[in-house]
Amino acid sequence: MVSYIVFLLVVAGIYALLAQSLCLAWGVTGLVNLGLAGFFAIGAYASATLTKWGGAPVPVGLLAAMLAGAVAGFVVCVSTLRLRDDYLAIVTLGFAEAVRVVASNEIWLTGGTDGISGIPAGLPRDWGQGFHLAALGIVTAILGLVWLALRRLVASPWGRALRAVREDQIVAAVAGKRVTRLKAEAFAIAAAIAALAGALYGHYTSYIAPEIFQPLITIYVFLAVTAGGNGRPTGAAIGAYLLIAFLEATRFAAEVLPGVSAVQAAALREASVGVALILLLRLRPRGLFPELSQKAPA
């Protein structure tokens, strides 16, 4: 039971990093990233290939993953920044699918659908529970750093400018904000955070494959961020822990449902994610930890 909880806390920490990414892009800047799974994948592959096949140490892999994520984020968002924000949503959705197809078919680069197993963790795996506890410490510490950095960024003049862009691009532009540049910066940084999460996932579990990076992961993170409060890094992080608790709780709930077949229980579990998201958007759209009401300067 303890090892189950430790494992879930590591996974939730990784989801919390994804939630930090979405918080910056969507909550603060108003850019919907439906391709979160794609950036997650890019980070995972960048770090896994460098450390496993390139022999690089894990920290170098993590930095490379963030760089790769930022570059990909920039390329993906740059064509849509002058358009309405829904275009970005469509582009990013397509991006995540494209990443998965490339990862499946470019076997020389990614190992194809076999995936990459035996990714080094930078820690000895034969520590047993100690390995998981150490991983928990590292992931939580990295999450803490990202969270602190994001909080400072959000409170900085740059963060205020991002919120101004979110509230009204035209007003922000009139007020002298470089809207396109601000959006590109925020999106690229957010993509880098998602990529970092992917790299950590690969190192922790030792295995990545294209099938991990499915659109459902993105929906999960939207649920997490909506639950916690999309404009506040603290809320987004707590939302991710709540998400994992919720996903796992539905497992136990499904077991006690009478007269439901296994596939029906599985369908109910997936549907409950959608229902929870709809209800939260409707009943508590600002989340459990709403954005502190800072007046965005116009």
Partner 1 sequence: MIITTRRTALFAGASLLAAPGLVRAQGAPIRLGTLTPLTGAGGPYGPVMANCVKSVVSDVNAAGGVLGRQVAVVSEDDQTNPEAGVRAARKLIDVDRVAAIMGTWASAVTTAVAPLCWESKTFLATVSGADSITALPHSGWLIRTQPNTTLQGRKFGEYAVELGAKKVFFMAPQTPFTQSQLANMKPPIDRAGGSIELLIYDATKPSLRTEVDQVLRARPDLIVLGGYTPDTTVLLRDIFRAGFRGKLLAYAYSVNQQMLSSLPNDVTEGIYTLAPSPAEGSGGFDRVKRIVGNDNPDPYTCQIYDQINLILMAMAVGNDATGQGIRDNIRKVSQGGGDRVDNAVDGLRAIAAGKKVDYDGASGPCDFTDAGDITDCKFRYEQVRAGRQTLIRIA
Partner 2 sequence: MIEALLQALINGVIAGTILAVPALGFTAIFAVLNYPNFAIGALATVGAYAGWVGNTALGLPMVAALALAFAATAVAGLVVQWAAVKPLESAGALMMAIASLAAGLVLENALRFGFGNDLRGYDLPLLRDWRFGEFRVGPQQVQNFALALAAMGLLWAFLRYSRTGRAMRAVADNRDLALLRGVDPARVAAVTVAVGAGLAGMGGMLVGLDTSVDPLVGTRLVLSIFAAAVLGGLGSIPGAVAGAIAIGVAEEVAVLAFNPAYRLVVGFVVILAVLTLRPAGLFGARAS
User: Is 271 a binder of partner 2 (CB under 8 A)?
Assistant: yes
Total binding residues for partner 1 by CB under 8 A?
44
Q: Which of 31, 99, 195, 217 binds partner 1 (CB under 8 A)?
A: 217
Q: Which of 98, 148, 245, 292 binds partner 2 (CB under 8 A)?
A: 98
User: Is 26 a binder of partner 2 (CB under 8 A)?
Assistant: yes
Residue type, 118: G
Q: Which of 122, 269, 272, 277 binds partner 1 (CB under 8 A)?
A: 269
281 binds, among partner 2, partner 1, none (CB under 5 to 8 A by kind): partner 2
User: Is 73 a binder of partner 2 (CB under 8 A)?
Assistant: no
The full 3-state SS of the chain, as one line of letters, equals CHHHHHHHHHHHHHHHHHHHHHHHHHHHCCCCCCCHHHHHHHHHHHHHHHHHCCCCCHHHHHHHHHHHHHHHHHHHHHCCCCCCHHHHHHHHHHHHHHHHHHHHHCHHHHCHHHCEECCCCCCCHHHCHHHHHHHHHHHHHHHHHHHHHHHHHHHCHHHHHHHHHHHCHHHHHHCCCCHHHHHHHHHHHHHHHHHHHHHHHHHHHCEECHHHCCHHHHHHHHHHHHHHCCCCHHHHHHHHHHHHHHHHHHHHHHHHCCCCCHHHHHHHHHHHHHHHHHHHHHHCCCCCCCCCCCCCCC
**Of 140-148, 151-159, 231-239, 270-278: span binding partner 2 (CB under 8 A):** 270-278
User: Is 90 a binder of partner 2 (CB under 8 A)?
Assistant: yes
Smallest distance from partner 2 to CB 13, Å: 24
Q: Are 268 and 255 within 8 A, CB to CB?
A: no
User: Is 245 a binder of partner 1 (CB under 8 A)?
Assistant: no
Residues 35-54 that bind partner 1 (CB under 8 A): none
Residues 144-163 that bind partner 1 (CB under 8 A): none
Q: Which of 6, 56, 60, 102 binds partner 2 (CB under 8 A)?
A: 102
Nearer CB in complex with partner 2: 90/148 = 90
Q: Which of 54, 270, 274, 284 binds partner 1 (CB under 8 A)?
A: 270
**Distance between CA atoms of residues 262 and 244, nearest Å:** 21
Residues 230-269 that bind partner 2 (CB under 8 A): 263-264, 266-268
**Distance between CA atoms of residues 54 and 157, nearest Å:** 40
User: Is 173 a binder of partner 2 (CB under 8 A)?
Assistant: no
Q: Which residues bind partner 1 (CB under 8 A)?
A: 1-4, 7-8, 11, 101, 104-105, 107, 112-115, 117, 125, 128, 201, 205-212, 214, 216-217, 247-248, 251-252, 255-256, 261-263, 265-267, 269-270
